[in-house]
Structure 1
């Protein structure tokens, strides 16, 4: 019988159960029992405990319907690792990849330790879905491998395909220093760690300067944007009635970033982005990107008498 990390198993020759938390070699596994001790056990001395919460579904069973658990809306859109504790084995933690985005994710997880690589998981994550990808003993944190996630993002929306992500994550003690919380799609508590972050686009001033000395044939023309950019979706897309909320946000942020980059290239002193007030999600995302951009001096609410808190003025360096 073939076991994988996270399987709940029972010892054949004694009354003891635990989780597979380490693959020692092809014939031996590390099993962590309810007391938190990891024990090397021969594969031949183990049997699966079917029906336990973390055991993978049998192929002939219907898949559960994915629903949005309460509290999901409080989590920013993105890709997360949910590190869940276990009530029966205090030292064991289970790693779930959680997709809190508008995209379908094609994912593989490879672990690396001392230049030895192990394929640990591959599969598809629908939006707002979690899947178990790994398990380990928290007591062995110092010798955990580095996690290498390769992710392809798929969307049915009319947006330019995003580049595949390669995310390397080495877990540290500081990742688990914050208070545990209820985890999305799971009954357990644990830690929610975001893997993807919207990168701030930094333009290298030297490269920009060099581009001015290229011949006309070599130059790529960037059109100057308007001084005032309206990001309301009805201004950007005629088919906005058919778009999901996450798709709308992606389009708005893409339009914002393109206009911001063009303003930097054309040496704007300031510009205004009209994002509306709404629930504040778009405003917060924009402010986060602005605060990380080295070409921006400051930003503020723009013309409150006209927009209230629905527009932001950006002042460039």
Structure 2
């Protein structure tokens, strides 16, 4: 059972669409009148279009009701996934899944570091996904080269014939993280095959995340950072002879340009020293935002050669408290800023 699937209640007449997974084996469904209700998973069964049609034709337990033409349809508005389906024990095939009731025109590509240090975009596929459909991509991704997998970029629009609400375009980036990717397999919607999923249009991140299987590769050195949990523990520690640690709430937008960090000049610092200052400021502001319970923070890094942006995205992709990151509003920041959404 996945977000976007149509279900019915075992002990009631209501039908609806799965909108969210809740703690305690509960599922939130959206019923015909637009209300969302929590229901135990054991009280729900999936409904296929064929089953629904047969039930209407064969039911003799109650008189059939005529549905007014103006009755609102139950729409599945969420359910766009990237799915990695194992071909064997060494390779995976990438699929784009549309488990909604909307048509989804899309562009899918990869971002990776270019030879000159900048970001290189490579288009993989474009097309139109019909409701409850999927598109298999041609590329195979090797498990042995997991750390080299690119950042996947999905851009899409929403379309339904006739009257419907206007929805904002979907633009999402996904970088597979070794600490969160392979923990649990699940059944891929539409395909009904086992695989690894990430949902691109989720309001909240309810997907099970995972750690990669053991490998013989040497552990890569991780950036040294202050733990957000340690900062929170210090903030709530009872008063004692030792002064409490105060973590200042950072601005929602942090400018990492050198002239903003060093308004009085660089003082003869080397390029390596300046890059270290930018990265240290980024780490400090990110951890402070997490410790203060902020939902998001934006870093202005500029375009330049792309080296700073690449390093920030690498660290964000490895951070356990980062839900996802994406380009900030281009109308406001151009192409030189990244918005980070915090778990």
TM over 0.5, shorter chain: no
TM-score range, shorter chain: 0.3 to 0.5
TM-score for both structures, normalised by structure 2:
0.34
TM-score (norm 1): 0.36
